[in-house]
Amino acid sequence: MWRVVRGVLTTLLFVCLLLILATSISPIYDFAPPAPFSGADIYNPYGTLDSTMSWRRVSLHTHTRVEGLLNECDYWPEDVLSRYEDFGYDVVGISNHNEITPYPASQQCRVPIYEHGFNLRGFHKHVIGAREVMAFDALVPLFTSQLQWQLNTLATQCEVLQLNHPTRTPILTPSRLQKLSNYRIMELTGARDYLENEDWDHALTAGRYCFGIMGDDLHYPDKSHCIATRCSYMAMSEVSDEALLDVLKSGCYYSVSVPDYGDGDAEVKRERNMSLPMVRSVGIKGDTIYMTLTAPAETLRVIGAGHTLLGRVADSDSIGYRMREDDAYARIVVSYPDSLIIMSNAFARYDATKQSSPFDVTFYQVNTLCTVLYNLALLFVVAGVVMLYIKLIGRWRRVD
C-alpha cells in the first residue's frame, strides 16, 4: 500500500513541477528606467466631457454563479444585476475568472469581460471587450518579464486591459509597477487602510500612465459591506457597449469609495446611495486643473509625483491647482466626513508634437540573447526533471 501511495505522490509532485516549468516560458525584456512625464502640454482625461453626457454609475468587477463546479458566487447574473439596480447602477460588468459569462438579454450594455489569472500569486487582469479567453498563464510567475508578456498578449485580445488589485497582489512591488506597461487601467482599492492608493502613484511617478478605476470585486451580493461600496462614474451620452468602451479608453470618469451606509439596513443604504455627492465639473483651463462638487467636502487634495501633496483645500465644494512646469502629473482626491472618497484621473504632462497622449510610449524591448538562453535553460531543467523521475521510479521498482 505504501508503495502505491509513494508512487502516486511522487508522480503528482513531478507533474506539478513540470507544469510550473512549462508555463514559465517567456520573452526576456529590457525595461526602460523610470521616465517622469514631461512636456509643455497637459493631458486632460476629461477633454471629451460635454453637455450631452451624464455621469453613469458603473462597476465592472462583478462575480456571479456560473455553470459547473467552480463558483465564487452563489447568485446567478440576473439576481446580482437586480441588486445593483436597487442601488442606482447604470452599468454592471460581469467578470468571472477565465470565462466570458453571457449577460441577461435585458441589459443594455453587454461588453464581454473576464478576469484572467489562475496563477498561484494572484496576478489578475481584467480583459474588457474580450475577443477570446486566453487559457495560458504562468502558474508561478517569478520574473517581471513574465508579467509583461502576459500584459502584452492580453492587450492584443481585447479593447481595454486593466491591472487588478495591485495593493493586495504581493508580486506587484513598487519596482515592478515602475516597469510594467501596456495596460490602460489600474484597479484602485476602496478599503480604508489603502485609500491613498500609492500603488497608482508608483506607476505614474515612473511615467507609466494609466487611469484609475474602482469596482466592488463582488463575490457576496447578500452581504451589505460587499456591494455598492466601490464604483466609478463615467461620462456617457448613452448606455451602450460603444459608449462604455469609448469612455474607458478616454479616461473621462472618476472613482468613488462609498461607505456601507445603514450598517446592514438595506433601505437606509439604498436611500443614501441615491443621494451621493457628485462631481459637477472637472477638467483643465490653461494649466490649472479644477473640480467642483454638488456638496462641500471635508478636504480636497491634489496629489503629485511620489505621492506628494501639491495642494489642499478644506470645507469647500471646489478646488483649483495651477500645475508648475516641474509637476509631472496631478490628480485630485476628495474626502467627506463619512469616509466617502472621490478620485479623479491624473492630468499628466506630455509633448503633443511627439505623441498624442502619455500612453504613446514603449518602455521595453525584447532581449533576444537572454530570451534564447532563458528558455533553453528551462528546457534543460524540464529534461533533467523527467530523467530524475524515470531514474527514481526505476530504482524503487528494483528495490521493491
Give the CA distances from residue 16 to residues 9, 124, 260, 385, 389, in Å, rounded to whole numbers and listed in that order.
Answer: 11, 21, 42, 11, 12
Is 88 found in the same domain as 209? Answer: yes
157: in domain: yes
- Pair type for strands 125-128 and 160-163: antiparallel
Q: Choose one of 277, 311, 331: the last residue of a domain.
A: 277
Is the predicted pLDDT of residue 361 greater than 90, yes or no? no
The answer to whether residues 261 and 272 touch, using CB atoms and an 8 Å cutoff, is: yes
Angstrom distance (rounded) from CA 397 to CA 131 = 50
Angstrom distance (rounded) from CA 164 to CA 128 = 12
Alpha helices in the chain (DSSP H): 2-22, 77-86, 144-155, 174-177, 198-205, 241-250, 266-273, 368-399
Give the CA distances from residue 338 to residues 42, 262, 274, 324, 333, in Å, rounded to whole numbers and listed in that order.
Answer: 33, 12, 16, 32, 15
Angstrom distance (rounded) from CA 187 to CA 113 = 15
301: in domain: no
**pLDDT tens digit sequence for 61-118:** 999 999 888 888 999 999 999 999 999 999 999 999 999 999 999 899 999 999 999 9
Angstrom distance (rounded) from CA 344 to CA 251 = 9
Is 54 found in the same domain as 25? Answer: no
Is 150 found in the same domain as 260? Answer: yes
Kindly provide the residue ranges of all beta strands, DSSP E only, lying in the chain, ordered along the sequence.
29-31, 41-43, 54-62, 91-94, 113-116, 125-128, 160-163, 185-187, 211-213, 230-236, 253-257, 279-285, 288-304, 308-322, 329-335, 341-343, 347-350, 364-366
Give the CA distances from residue 183 to residues 138, 150, 161, in Å, rounded to whole numbers and listed in that order.
Answer: 18, 10, 5
Q: Indicate which CATH number applies to the domain containing 170.
A: 3.20.20.140
18: in domain: yes
- Measuring CA to CA, which residue among 302, 350, 342 is closest to residue 322? 302
- From the CB of residue 357, how many other CB atoms can be counted at a distance below 10 Å? 17
345: in domain: no
37: in domain: no
What is the predicted pLDDT for the residue at 193? 47
Is 55 found in the same domain as 24? Answer: no
Backbone angles phi, psi at 207, to 5 degrees: 85, 10
60: in domain: yes
What are the strands of the beta sheet with 211-213, ordered from one edge? 113-116, 125-128, 160-163, 185-187, 211-213
- Measuring CA to CA, which residue among 109, 141, 377 is closest to residue 243? 109
Strand partners, 231: 256
Is 133 found in the same domain as 21? Answer: no
Average pLDDT score over residue span 195-202: 89
- In terms of residue numbers, what domain contains 142? 49-277
Give the CA distances from residue 280 to residues 37, 293, 294, 320, 373, in Å, rounded to whole numbers and listed in that order.
Answer: 28, 5, 6, 14, 56
Is 135 found in the same domain as 18? Answer: no
Is 122 found in the same domain as 268? Answer: yes
340: in domain: no
List CB contacts of 91: < 8 A, sequence separation 6 or more.
56, 57, 58, 59, 60, 109, 234, 239, 244
Q: Choose one of 277, 296, 312: the last residue of a domain.
A: 277
Angstrom distance (rounded) from CA 189 to CA 166 = 9
348: in domain: no
C-alpha cell at 100: 466570458
Angstrom distance (rounded) from CA 33 to CA 175 = 10
**pLDDT tens digit sequence for 369-392:** 999 999 999 999 999 999 998 888
The answer to whether residues 323 and 309 touch, using CB atoms and an 8 Å cutoff, is: no
**pLDDT tens digit sequence for 128-170:** 999 999 999 999 999 999 999 999 999 999 999 999 999 999 9
Q: Choose one of 277, 311, 332: the last residue of a domain.
A: 277
Amino acid at the residue 280:
R
What is the Cα gyration radius of the chain?
Answer: 24
Q: Work out the pLDDT band at 396, boundaries 50, 70, 90.
A: confident
Is 109 found in the same domain as 10? Answer: no
The average confidence (pLDDT) of the chain is 94
Is 15 found in the same domain as 163? Answer: no
If one counts the domains in the chain, the total is 2
What is the predicted pLDDT for the residue at 362? 86
Is the predicted pLDDT of residue 238 greater than 80, yes or no? yes
The answer to whether residues 20 and 121 touch, using CB atoms and an 8 Å cutoff, is: no
Is 79 found in the same domain as 226? Answer: yes
Is 78 found in the same domain as 199? Answer: yes
Is 79 found in the same domain as 6? Answer: no
Is the predicted pLDDT of residue 10 greater than 90, yes or no? no
